[in-house]
Structure 1
Amino acid sequence: MTLRMRVGQFIAYFFRSLLWSINLLLVLYTCLAYWLLYSLQTEHWSASMIMITLPVAWVLNFVVVCLWLTARPWRSWLSGLVLIIGLILFGSRTFVWHTPTEFEGKGQPVNVFSYNVQSFDLTASYDLYQSSPRVRRTMNYVLHYDAPIKCFQEFYNSTTIPDYNLVKRFQEAGYTHTAFLFPEMAQATDGDVGVAIFSKYPILQSGREPFGPQNGIVWANVKIGNDTIRIINVHLHSMGIRVGKVLKQKEIKGVQRETRGVLSALHNGFTDRREEVIKVERYIHESPYPVIVTGDHNDTPYSVVYERLRRTLPNSFEDAGRGFGFTYNHLPGFIRIDHQFHDPKLTVLNFETINYIKYSDHYPIVGTYALK
């Protein structure tokens, strides 16, 4: 055997050993994420950071499986087994494929529409109010979508220009019952209403709890025929993920600065959302009526917020959705952070992420429900 062959064998052995070591560490990391998410033993922000990276760990395990299949096929079983366990434990919150259920019985099903409208982009194009077809298309879409209950986050209203006086236009379209996070802003010249509920059905009672300038909870007890349900519309603290800003940096210092900003925002977001979801749970438990929780939760299905709500109420996407259901329209894009959870007393017939509507940085979601 020549020296070149010996060196080649040594290099191949070194890299196989390195890959196997990385493989073992990756498997341990993935199993830790499984344990944290499944047991919810701790809700510390560091645990949330590990949980949210679970899809990345799955992708890396899949890459490792492919690499071993080309070199040492028998070693691919470890990551393969981890992927199978993940599919069993968390597959339904990642990918589902349900067909819509036909409504049977008296009355009619109820559509609950939810959309983070990003202030209709009015704040970014203030000087172009009167000549912004994109903004007008957004407003016309949310106004005419066929749903008797509509929930919005980052809702914005302006009374100075008739086209943009959305509160008035909704009322003229039959949505005469409303609940706002900041009701005083609904009649302002330029108002950040924040979280908003519009209903064609009577609202018997409502309440609100702000978390910040636009974040908070708005709930409304809505009477539908002889029944009453509670709609809880939430906008939890932002994730703070601005991948685009990191990628746009041309110098390493800029990348480091933006990366630190993202990590700091993630830390603050995990901490704030954990406190906010406890308040959401309180409104659920205090409700004398069946509950639907909808809105921009700013957390993925692999998080403390999602897991806590999922243990309280079934998730509508998991019960009646299709595909991956990604709801974020900017980088990183492949995340689902807008959710609906429903009371077991309500049957979810269909759930849709309307991913062809790209007016905002979120996609609209809509659930169709029938009262049992």
Structure 2
Amino acid sequence: MKNLQDFTVRLIAGANIATIVCMLLIGFSDRINPVSHPLLANIGLFFPVFLAINVGFLFFWLIVRKRMAIIPVAGLILAFVPVRTYTPLNMPEEAPKGSLKVMSYNVFNFSTWTSPDEPCPILDYVEAQRPDILCMQEFCSDGWKKDRILERLGKLYSHHRITDPKGGDPIAIFSRFPIIRTDTIHYESRANNSAAYHLLTPGGDTTIVVVNHFESTGLSKDDRRRFKAMLKGDIERKEAESESRNIWRKLAEASAIRAPQADSVAAYVERHKGKSIILTGDFNDSPISYVRHRLASVLTDCYVASANGPGISYHYNAFYVRIDNIMCSSHWEPYACRVDNGIKASDHYPIICSLERKKE
């Protein structure tokens, strides 16, 4: 009987170790360039699965055989970097008085606002939050929505710029501070873009605010709908396997397009090294991804540095992941970064962070 118990314990321990190995390989997969290895580019999406399994092992060992808990604990220590990237834990700190409040929000073309006679939840929310700098992705191109938006936000912000790619979704910035220059960051894209807005911030300093909307996942509405149905088990096995391959191929193709876009933005940041920079936007990629890692290698990820939990910012069709980000140069100290899931007027939640300018 004891031999059987020992064998079972060794078997479970082996499964725990295998889980840790997978967790580490996936956790550090954000170093792989999707251009060279597109099919490996999105395995970071599975990181929370293996993290959860390892935590499950931890509770199991604590109940069954406490000394074996060293295995999942060692796994968490070895995977500290990707674990912190995916779901950071920080001591809550209140933002110092005078900090800059920055918001990034993919507003989904204000598509849930269908009539000028109806209230607009997004505009109501912005007016309540009153960020000093508001960055928007998938902004409106024209029509009555754009007129109403500019009219209302014009009462809060003296300065704004809209950058509109041909055939794509505009990005926009609204600022309490003068915008003295705009640089378009060039890269290949059918409908997405990045721009750097030079703001004259208090004290006569110039801060470059980079707004990004990187290549989308390439999944159609029908793909997303079928993915959700697949998770629910509403699609037959053979069809589900075919659908999985199709979705994975599309995700891989989009990642291979997105990586050079992130490289172009990172190169722009590197060319302006030593200058005050705030970077925001919809990365359309998970926290464990080449895109986030590449930009975090040249800037501080404000969410990782000051937030808590996974911070899910995209919440449609069973794709629940943090794809919206705020980053900053070493000139700034981030405080209380958070994703606000209290407003559901878009397929994204807004991400907000307070930034204190460091003393020279």
Under a length normalisation based on structure 2, what TM-score does the superposition of the two structures give?
0.81
Q: Deviations over 1:337-368 (max 9, x none)?
A: 11111010122243232221111111111222
Asked if the contact 1:181/1:196 (under 8 Å) is kept, the reply is yes
1:280: Cα distance to partner? 0.8
**Residue 165 of structure 1: how far off its partner (Å):** 1.9
Deviation at 1:210, TM superposition (A): 6.5
Q: Using CA pairs below 8 Å that are at least 6 residues apart, which structure has the higher relative contact order?
A: 2
Distance 2:18 2:308 in 1: 33
Query: Which residue in the other structure is 1:118 paired with?
Result: 108
Deviations 1:129-166 (A, max 9, x none): 35655xx222333355412321111112443x3x5524
Q: Tell me what 1:273 maps to.
A: 258
Q: Tell me what 2:249 maps to.
A: 264
The structure 1 residue matched to 2:176, chosen from 187, 197, 200, is 200
The 5-angstrom pairing of residues 181-200 of structure 1 reads 181-182=163-164, 193-200=169-176
Task: Name the SS for the 2:243 alignment partner.
Answer: helix
1:97-139 residue CA offsets vs partner (Å, 9 max, x unmatched): 3212323xxxx432221101111115xx8xx535655xx2223
| Per-residue deviation, 1:178 | 2.8
Any conservation in 1 of the 2:95–2:336 contact (CA below 8 Å)? yes
Specify the SS of the correspondent of 2:79. Answer: helix
Q: Deviations over 1:220-251 (max 9, x none)?
A: 00111311100001111224573424336443
Shift in Å, 1:202: 1.3
Q: Is the 8 A contact 1:100 1:320 kept in 2?
A: no
Matched letter for residue 280 of structure 1 = V
Specify the code of the residue in structure 2 equivalent to 1:216: N
Identify if the C-alpha distance between structure 1 residues 69 and 339 changes in structure 2 by more than 3 Å, giving closer, same or farther: same
Q: Which residue of 1 aligns with 2:304?
A: 318
1:53 to 28, 46, 54: 46
Q: In the alignment, is residue 156 of structure 1 matched against residue 132 of structure 2?
A: no
Choose from 146, 161, 172 the match for 2:130.
146
- Superposed counterparts of 1:325-344, under 5 Å: 325-332=311-318, 334-344=320-330
Aligned counterpart in structure 2 of residue 165 of structure 1, from 128, 144, 147 = 147
Aligned residue for 1:23, secondary structure, equals helix
CA RMSD in angstroms comes to 3.3
Structure 1 position 13, deviation (Å): 8.4
- Greater CA drift, 41-50 or 258-267: 41-50
Q: Deviations over 1:284-323 (max 9, x none)?
A: 1233731111011122221211222222111111222234
Kept in 1, the 8 Å contact 2:279–2:328? The answer is yes
Question: 2: distance between equivalents of 1:138 and 1:251?
Answer: 39
99, 102, 119: which one aligns with 1:109? 99
Conserved 8 A contact 2:161-2:172 = yes
8 A contact 2:85–2:287 mirrored in 1: no
**For 1:72-91, what aligned pairs fall within 5 Å after superposition?**
75-87=68-80, 90-91=83-84
In the alignment, structure 1 segments of 5+ residues that lack a partner are 1-5, 186-191
How far did residue 266 of structure 1 move?
1.9
- The one-letter amino acid of 1:311's match is S
Asked whether the equivalents of residues 246 and 254 of structure 1 are also in contact (C-alpha less than 8 Å), the reply is: no
Distance 2:166 2:26 in 1: 44
Superposed counterparts of 1:226-305, under 5 Å: 226-239=204-217, 242=224, 243-247=227-231, 249-287=234-272, 289-305=275-291
CA spacing shift, 1:366–1:84, aligned 2, 3 Å: same
Larger Rg: 1
Query: Is contact 2:194-2:212 (8 Å) kept?
Result: yes
Gap change, CA 1:193 and 1:169, over 3 Å in 2: farther
- Provide Cα deviations, 1:226-284, integer angstroms capped at 9, x if missing partner: 11100001111224573424336443354334322321222123212211110111221
Do the aligned residues in 2 keep the contact of 1:197 with 1:218 (CA within 8 Å)? no
Q: Distance in 2 between matches of 1:292 and 1:67?
A: 43
Separation in 1 of the partners of 2:150 and 2:166?
A: 14
Structure 1 counterpart of 2:212, one-letter code:
V
- How has the CA–CA distance of structure 1 residues 80 and 147 changed in structure 2, closer, same or farther, with 3 Å as cutoff? closer
Kindly tell me the number of residue pairs found equivalent between the two proteins.
345
Structure 2: which amino acid aligns with 1:347? Answer: E
Contact 1:329–1:360 under 8 Å retained in 2: no
Following TM superposition, by how much is the alpha carbon of 1:331 offset from its aligned partner in structure 2, in angstroms?
A: 4.9
Residue 41 of structure 1 and its aligned partner are, at CA, apart by 6.4
Relative to 1, partners in 2 of residues 1:13 and 1:115: Cα closer, same or farther, differing over 3 Å? same
